[in-house]
Amino acid sequence: MFFGIEWDTSSNLAFALSILPILLIGLWVTIQATVLGFFIALILGLVLATLKSAPTRLISWPAKAITEFIRDTPLLVQLFFLYYVLPDYGIVLPAFLTGALALGVQYSAYTSEVYRAGLEAVAKGQHEAARALNLPSPRTFTHVILPQAIPRIIPALGNYLVSIMKDVPVLSVVTVLEMLNVATIIGDRTFNYLIPLSMVGGLYLILTLLASSGVRYIDVHLPKRGLSLK
Amino acid sequence: MSEPIIKFDKVVKRFGDLTVLDELDFQVEQGEKVTIIGPSGSGKSTVLRVLMTLEKINEGVVYIGGEPLWHESRNGKLHEASEAHLRKMRNQMGMVFQQFNLFPHMTVLRNLTEAPVRVLGMSKADVRQRGEELLDLVGLSDQKDKYPHQLSGGQQQRVGIARALAMRPRIMLFDEPTSALDPELVGEVLNVIRRLAKEHDLTMLLVTHEMHFAQQISDRVCFFDKGKIKEQGTPEELFKAPKEARTQEFLKAVLNPD
Ligand SMILES: Nc1ncnc2c1ncn2[C@@H]1O[C@H](COP(=O)(O)OP(=O)(O)OP(=O)(O)O)[C@@H](O)[C@H]1O
Ligand SMILES: [Mg+2]
């Protein structure tokens, strides 16, 4: 029994059907961790990208160093760091939040690069034309630069959403009951790992395919009006 | 003679160790049509870009209508100009780029109306009407709802010219407006510029390799070499009887490429 749900070991099929609701609870946690982690990565990445493009090196250099550091250390190390070190400083977060935060921090290094690359890909001539027309800088950013950067940024961000989802099982090591953790616990208790783990694989496959096609849908239907993104 | 509308006073522009404008003295009178020619790297584009405030200067003073462009005078001293001052000065000029630099995500008409609505504070209806008139002027009234990539290079550059004119500049700067075009599209753009050149009040500064065209429309041609004006004069003087050896050499090379 797990989450108050009994399993039925009379046959493989019955077992699979009986643990499906349990795995779906884990799946729901996986989705929540993905969405929250992605959200943190979007915001933190934007902050990092802004700092990195700051005109003074006093700000841009540390931001670049942080990005590089995050990128070059494994997610697991960051996760342990947050999980074991933060409480020493009086910050005690539930395992789920710590996990989502670790995902968000790790991926903020990538999203910040996506933002930066997207903005830099807009031709220099666009800035110059806007300046020659005396468009105010905020207007130039929101109406000239961003509309040309966003169609490049969104698909790349979408790919990281899928990556985050596939990294969620790492959170099982700090007791987050995401789908993989749930499956191994079922395996521990029933001595049948094959079925729950296969189901995790299957559910992940479905989830990834759905997310990828969602990303592709957005990519195709994103208004690109006149932009060629070669 | 009245105050020159453009005046470079011992202007120096460097990129690192490279001196691109070398104590340049240069004047343009109100309504004058001046063509700048010269070898690659001689600083032709830089002159226009300094005027359009795309490139800062290192030394000297640039005056527009008698007022310093890159400086503001306070207590009788010249200080580096504020963005507000640059905005005010910039409004007097329009620039046409070699690569057009149209906004690709905006329709042709929107390219023309975006800045006037925001910057000149004109009503949308007025700006729209003016935009349509300008498209008419460059012969593109039927293309106003298209996006730039749906147009030929020549059409795009005509939009570029109309877009600059929409800001009602006193000075128009053209940086090799036909260099990025297929040869068969050059004529339509030159025709538009030629028509503009008939406007008595509009001051025009044009960098071009179209020597024949320069001869037709210019009041004066300046030959640039190594960040200075090596020689200048009426098209007659400069093309028919260049005095400097460097000018002769250059003209010979561009007029008889083989
Ligand atoms: N942003 C920059 N940084 C460094 N060097 C630059 C920069 N812009 C221009 N230069 C250099 O300054 C010199 C003059 O450039 P400029 O563009 O004014 O030449 P030009 O006369 O317009 O030449 P062309 O006929 O090739 O357009 C060139 O040697 C160029 O390489
Ligand atoms: Mg040039």
In one-letter notation, the amino acid at residue B210 is: E
The full DSSP string for B19-30 is EEEEEEEEEE-T
- Test site for ligand 1: of B14, B18, B98, B211, most ligand atoms within 8 A of the Cβ: B18
Instruction: Determine the pLDDT at residue A230.
Output: 46
Rounded Cα–Cα distance for residues A103 and A36 (Å)? 9
- CA B202/CA B236 separation, integer angstroms: 22
Report how far residue B228's alpha carbon sits from residue B36's, in angstroms, rounded to the nearest whole number: 11
Residue A78 resides in a domain: yes
Instruction: Give the pLDDT of residue B200.
Output: 86
Is residue A228 situated within a structural domain? no
Residue of A nearest to B112 (CA): A133
Q: What residues does B223 pair with on adjacent strands?
A: B37, B231
Q: Give the pLDDT confidence of A124-152 residue by residue, as tens digits.
A: 999 999 999 999 999 999 999 999 998 88
Q: Which two tokens stand for residue A12?
A: 């493989």
Distance B40 CA to ligand 2 centre (A): 7
Least CB–CB distance from A133: residue in B119, B147, B150: B119
Segments making up each domain of chain B, as ranges: 102-169
Contacts of A176 (CB under 8 A, 6+ apart): A29, A33, A95, A96, A99
Q: Is residue A4 part of a domain?
A: no
Q: How far is A70 from chain B (nearest CA, A)?
A: 35
User: Does residue A129 sit within a domain?
Assistant: yes
Task: Tell me the pLDDT of chain B (258 aa) as tens digits.
Answer: 578 999 999 999 999 999 999 999 999 999 999 999 999 999 999 999 999 999 999 999 999 999 999 999 888 888 999 999 999 999 999 999 999 999 999 999 999 999 999 888 888 999 999 999 999 999 999 999 999 999 999 999 999 999 999 999 999 999 999 999 999 999 999 999 999 999 889 999 999 999 999 999 999 999 999 999 999 999 999 999 999 999 999 999 888 776
The answer to whether residue A3 is domain-embedded is no
Q: Which of B83, B53, B45, B10 is nearest to B174 (CA)?
A: B45
List, for residues A65-124, the tens digit of each pLDDT value: 999 999 999 999 999 999 999 999 998 999 999 999 999 999 999 999 999 999 999 999
Q: Is residue A74 part of a domain?
A: yes
Q: Which residues contact B226 (CB under 8 A, 6 or more apart)?
A: B22, B42, B43
Domain that holds residue A38: 9-221
How many other CB atoms are found less than 10 A from the CB of residue B119?
18
pLDDT digits (tens, 9 = 90+) for A150-205: 888 988 999 999 999 999 999 999 999 999 999 999 999 999 999 999 999 999 99
Q: How far lies A12's CA from each of A17, A18, A200, B57, B218, in Å?
A: 9, 10, 15, 80, 90
- CB–CB of B104/B149 below 8 Å? yes
- What is the number of structural domains in chain A? 1
Strand partners, B80: B71
Sign of torsion over alpha carbons A124, A126, A127, A131: positive
Where residue A15 sits, what CATH number does that domain have?
1.10.3720.10
